[in-house]
Chains A and B, each alone.
Chain A
């Protein structure tokens, strides 16, 4: 049963009983609350994709451990084709659900772990890679939904983890025992962790020698005692609760906005077989960087491009419904939306095509860092432009519209139909306006900005990865300018 159906996933979710808090309530069943249900339904749709013959080239891979067909969300990339299909999966899933593929972060985390645990074992003689492979085999055989937890709460940014007044703002080791470790602390902004069977936890960033307590990586089952999920809550959560079963009123009716949570680890026990890093600070930054390079290609250059595709489609419908689709400046703005999104997708494809084995001998392929960062940085800025144009073309109606069901109200409905009827009936206009509201006035702008790391991290990577001296030399050569002499004056000082 290496590939399970959405039905089987939903059956398994009925037995998942994580400790989940949503907007003042403790959830008894993930499918019983409209907010958590939307997240679970998105995951279910991703399972469905892997069952569809037309999508199996993208969604199904061959396990490098067993040779069995597996969901690509659990695949370790071992060649360029795998990397290319990985980014295509991010595109397809976003086009399908219009929200997170909630298995995406877990996928990129497991690729970073496959690479880094191998490297640690080679250098340190540890058994992390063997453990990781055992865990992965199990996850693949059950087709588990695996999320990834990276971002620590971080507290006062002026202080290192050991200097924080509140130690738990960085997930840390409490106790090392014969049978495992005990951890506590917080991981924030965890997309879809509530509906995952397991979460892969990584350190939040690079660490110094004396920060070994924070150099932790492990896999934790979703219902582990001591683990609590405090979900995000916003106007869209309230709207979904308000409408209940009337989901047709909502911008993305079935799959909703991106649902995240803060994971609270209150002395959670992790047996050694699930621990993939414990104290090896030297490798923490490497692990996170490898995660980031995979995730920036996928999140920036493909996932958000899938979002852009549906936004562009919705925007064109909005234009057609009021009869402006042939107006030159409207067409120009639509083309700009396509330019912005496809440029990022091109970067993702380039990142995959220029991918390479890292480290040599590991058998694990990771995308090109520069192109992956370019994909993410480009879409971080481009996505605001895309949703700006959606709001522009969609019109003020995107944020001023009444409820859809108000059209059926015996008193105001007939008036509203006259008010909003145009080149298409009012029902269609309002439906597409609500869809665009989901994007233009929703959570995805800031989400795209920060997801896979805020743009400042990509700018930093550009400074590290770009050979600026080489560029200056090229310019000088072209101009016929001689190379400067070594700065003698400075040397004398």
Chain B
């Protein structure tokens, strides 16, 4: 299983686990398809960068930390990653608002 740590805004943090390849699926969605799982509006992803095992996402609009956290809580299970506990993540996603 893959453990993925999601950091939203300045202080939000969540741990998710999924089968191997889950992080690759998220990268595929965000980098290639420019889409966040579970969200179907165009232009939501303003920017996405992958460096090693860290995906950095910038979402368009003025979104609070709480809103970003809420959005990732929807995005992750829609691609087969479920909330978990622990701190042994091997993949990382950082999410911030465009403005």
Contact = CB atoms under 8 A, between A and B. Distances in A.
Given A15-B74, A16-B78, A138-B1, A224 B25 contact: yes
Q: Report, as a range, how many residues of chain B touch the other chain.
A: 20 to 34
Contacts of B25: 180, 221, 224, 269-271
A224 B24 contact: no
B33 A223 contact: no
Contact of A274 (B19, B35, B37, B39): B19
B78 A180 contact: no
A224 B78 contact: yes
Given A138-B1, A271-B21, A273-B21, A225 B35 contact: yes
B40 interface: yes
A225 B1 contact: no
A226 interface: yes
Contacts of A26: 40
A142 B38 contact: no
Interface string B47-87: 00000000000000000000000000110011110100000
Given A17-B39, A271-B25, A223 B79 contact: yes
A202 to B, nearest CB: 18
Contacts of B38: 15-18, 223
Interface in B8-26: 18-22, 24-25
Given A198-B80, A221-B80, A138 B74 contact: no
Contacts of B98: none
Given A138-B1, A138-B19, A274-B19, A179 B78 contact: no
Contact of A225 (B37, B73, B82): B37
Chain A at the B interface: mostly helix, strand, loop or mixed? mixed
Interface residues of A, number: 27
Interface string A1-37: 0000000000010011111000000100000000000
A143 to B, nearest CB: 11
B24 A179 contact: yes
Contacts of B22: 271
Interface of B: 1, 18-22, 24-25, 28-29, 32-33, 35-40, 73-74, 77-80, 82
14 contacts: A16-B38, A134-B20, A180-B24, A221-B25, A221-B78, A223-B37, A225-B33, A225-B36, A226-B33, A270-B25, A271-B20, A271-B21, A274-B19, A274-B21
Interface of A: 12, 15-19, 26, 134-135, 138, 142, 179-180, 197-198, 221-226, 269-274
